[in-house]
Amino acid sequence: MTKTAIIAGQGALPAALADALKGAGVPYVTAEMEGFPADLPGETPIRFRVERLAVFLDHLADLGVSRVVFGGSMRRPRIDPELIDPRTATLVPRLLAALQKGDDVLLREVMAIFEDWDFEVAGASGIAPGLVPGPGILAGAPGEADRSDAARAAEIVAALGALDIGQGAVVAQGLCLATEALPGTDAMLGFVAATGVRLRPDPNGGKGVLYKAPKPGQDRRVDLPALGPATVRAVAEAGLAGIAWEAGGVITLEQDAMVAEAKRAGLFLWAREP
């Protein structure tokens, strides 16, 4: 049976992947980057540093790992040249070149390095398909204005993604109130909560929609956008009507809790056909 390593970032996704592997009876290990502790109750992750990446990859191979899956958010690490071992030194030019570019380029290079060590790189949707819902409405009912705003937001997110900038936008009454950048979804929704009401042309018109989708051409094995109960609460605090996302392209964490939060706040949750 394929032994899997979860390369864990922060957030709820690594634990959800661990639960899925346990439920399927698949042997696995967990690993976290030093300085970026993962939330993995009951697990003892292997810690690694980018400066000793080759050593870490060799260790995974020695443990019998043949497949890896990336889950959770990670910030770009600062590399300490004094800690780089000789074998990792051969990888540094590739990593440094990728670090100067967008997240998508960096993640592709990281996956390529893992593949150079003969690891299969799996996507979260392949490990836990239930986390990535297909088309349908999970809660509430988007109205005509909401559907129009979602369509406009999808166009904006596609344009942003083509420049490797972000995976989300908020649109109300056809106007883009905010787009996602490096600070993330929470920062975007916080801005909308503080300013959104004043930006809407018609106080009695559509409240607005948060829309999320992968970047065009993105390798969907890593860095899929994610939503969870905290996102639903933030959308409610921002005074929006609901959340739409690209069906089959967004991870939904704690889906039952998301639906309960949405119903409590009177929001819709819509996995929209691309």
Class of the domain covering 132-272: alpha beta
In terms of pLDDT, which residue wins out, 261 or 39? 261
Q: At 253, phi and psi to the nearest 5?
A: -95, 140
> What pLDDT is attached to residue 35?
86
Instruction: Work out the percent of the chain whose per-residue pLDDT is above 90.
Output: 71
Q: The pTM is what? A: 0.87
> What pLDDT is attached to residue 97?
82
> What pLDDT is attached to residue 96?
79
CATH architecture, domain defined by 4-127: 3-Layer(aba) Sandwich (3.40)
For the stretch 9-52, pLDDT in tens is 988 999 999 999 999 999 999 999 998 899 898 899 999 998 99
Please compute the mean of the pLDDT values over residues 56-81 and round it to a whole number: 90
Spell out the domain ranges in the chain: 4-127, 132-272
> What pLDDT is attached to residue 155?
97
Q: Is 3 left (phi over 0), alpha (psi -120 to 50) or beta?
A: beta
